[in-house]
Amino acid sequence: MNQHADIARDAVRPKSKFRPPAVHQVRVGGFFGPRIDTVATVTAHTLLDRCIEAGMLDQIDPDRPNPGIRIPFQNNSTVSTQMFWDSDFGKSIETAAYALFRKPDPALEARVDAVIEAYARLQDENGYLNSWYQRIQPGKRWTNLRDCHELYDAGHLIEGAVAYYHATGKRRLMDIMARYADHIIDVFGTGEGEIPGYCGHPEVELALVRLGRATGEQRYLDLAKFFVDQRGRAPHYFDREAEKRGEGPKDYYFGSHEYTQSHEPVRDQRRVVGHAVRAAYLYSGMADVSTEFGDETLQPALRSLWEHLTDKNLYVTGGFGPSHFNEGLTFDYDLPNETAYAETCAAVSLVFWASRMLGPGPDRAYADVMERALYNGALAGLSLDGTTFFYENPLESRGGHHRWRWHRCPCCPPNIARLVASVGTYIYGEAENEIAVHLYCESIAELEAAGIKVRIAQETRYPADGAVRLTVDLASPAEFALHLRLPGWSPGVSVHVNREPVDLAAGTANGYLTLRRVWAAGDVVELDIDMPVERLRAHPKVGADQGRVALQRGPLVYCLEEADNGAFLNSVVLRPGSAFRCEPAEDLGGAVALVAEASREAADAGGPLYRTEAPSRAAATILAVPYYAWDNRAPGEMLVWIRQEEGA
């Protein structure tokens, strides 16, 4: 008999703290509304089109011939079958689910239902479901957890299944994946004949928590905790597994188990290492387990990992992982701009992790980073028209970096699409007698506090400006706490309740204002968040950014593009006292652009390579646009970190 139940019984089980609302509880407008509409009408179909064009349905559907090489890329290369294709379909189904919640689309729903039925035909009688091991490499299941994504694939299909159930009410895929999860419970454990392992690419942990919450079945939460607890224990499972395959542990391509964050037990980890996306997925699962089980033993590791990332390894855009080699971390303060990898999936998964760090309670340290990663490093991964995608996200380009139509490893397109389409679930948090507002965006949320339904209508043009109005509606007066984030980037916030000013000093903790009162229908909370243009400077150990500044207004980081400023962007030099004015960029959907006076150094083509005299400068007007919107117009250079005159 496996040990999952025994592990679970050892944990303290308080009532759950803050959980995010499900997607069907929040209707989003404002800044994200048009983006969700684009995902619903364009991107959701585009993802399915390109998955099928790549041959994914051929790999999944047992009624189709075995797949072969299929999809051409923009560099004229092709891609063959992939072990992680189930994950891409899972995320695409999740995106489609959110699209269907946004607006009915019978054609899209029929397409998803057809894919679900293909999975139903593929599933083994015992519940096993993985197209790679059933169609491409039969007989090798559970033999290479380190490299081959079996549980990772299951995780994304589980998340797609839960989303599809919430959005449409259809249980077909969720029942399929619950059967698979039950099979995994039978296979994994520390008992005789069971596998005491875990996935080389974490993800299934957070997916199992979502399945447990949706079904109310404790065994899925217990399995998530099992995978978290087993990771990195000695003797190392991946070494034993490799030996069974006839391989030496020292033959591992990446050399160290730091790549998979399994180099030591998770509670002992203090530094973010290895593959960036795997890291943030693991920490997301750890945070979920900590919240669901009241497991405080995970918190020291989670807090230290968070501080190590945000204090020494996070790009100003909220991206992380500078290296192409391991798609992840190298050494502290290694934050190059032009060669930054900063995978879109890394910023997306950082949003996941930050959101889950809010489980114990509101804390601006996490919500501010969630917002930074969401609006900048993640959102840049999707073009404004919803059809092309960034995989890498540099902070400087000479003009040759552009979005992909598709990718050999198409993990990022559905990942950013599902995040944008489900952004309403990140805006709020629910607890027994508390509601938290983590993000500001026009929305209507149907939440619960103090045992009653609470409707919150949020009106705002944020991030265009910082005025936010929240109207509370409930059937009868009730007492609960409403927590409001006071953004760390803002030098000043004022709050009024029913036009009466609130003393922020008396009610603020961890960057949130807590309003605990008896609420009645029609109560109005108004925030006025100062949103000046800030010039950010990097830590002295970030060599690439010295003598330079990054522009930020509200949650948005800005960049210069050749389309507005001409070529040779490194010749731009900001003046210390230059004022900025805001103008709408109509060719970027009305995004707020920043205009300022600066200088430009002469960039003549002739003359010696090195010289003693300083280059001449001329006055110039520059225009900066939000980083998320770059590469949506004419191709050209891009620059985030701008030179600034000394003494500024």
C-alpha 504/C-alpha 525 separation (Å) is 13
HSE-CB for 472 with a 13 A CA cutoff? 29
Contacts of residues 32-35 at CB distance under 8 Å and 24 or more positions apart, as own/partner, are: 32/420, 32/423, 32/441, 33/442, 34/589, 35/379, 35/382, 35/420
Tokens of 639: 């620059």
Close Cβ partners of 33 (under 8 Å, ≥ 6 residues apart): 442
Find out whether 413 and 442 touch, Cβ atoms under 8 Å.
no
Is 411 a catalytic site residue?
yes
Output the six-digit token pair for 85: 């294709």
Classify 528 as helix, strand or coil.
Answer: strand
Q: Name residues whose C-beta falls within 8 Å of residue 470's C-beta, 6 or more positions apart in sequence.
A: 437, 456, 457, 458, 459, 524, 525, 526, 527
Q: How many CB atoms lie within 10 A of CB 405?
A: 15
**53 noted as active-site residue:** no
DSSP letter for 77, please: -
Strands 591-601 and 500-501: unpaired
DSSP 3-state of 487 = coil
- Selected catalytic residue, list 241, 327, 442, 526: 327
Using CA atoms, how far apart are residues 279 and 252, in angstroms rounded to an integer? 19
* Selected catalytic residue, list 199, 411, 412, 441: 411
Nearest to 208 by CA among 169, 174, 166: 174
Active site (catalytic) residues:
327, 411
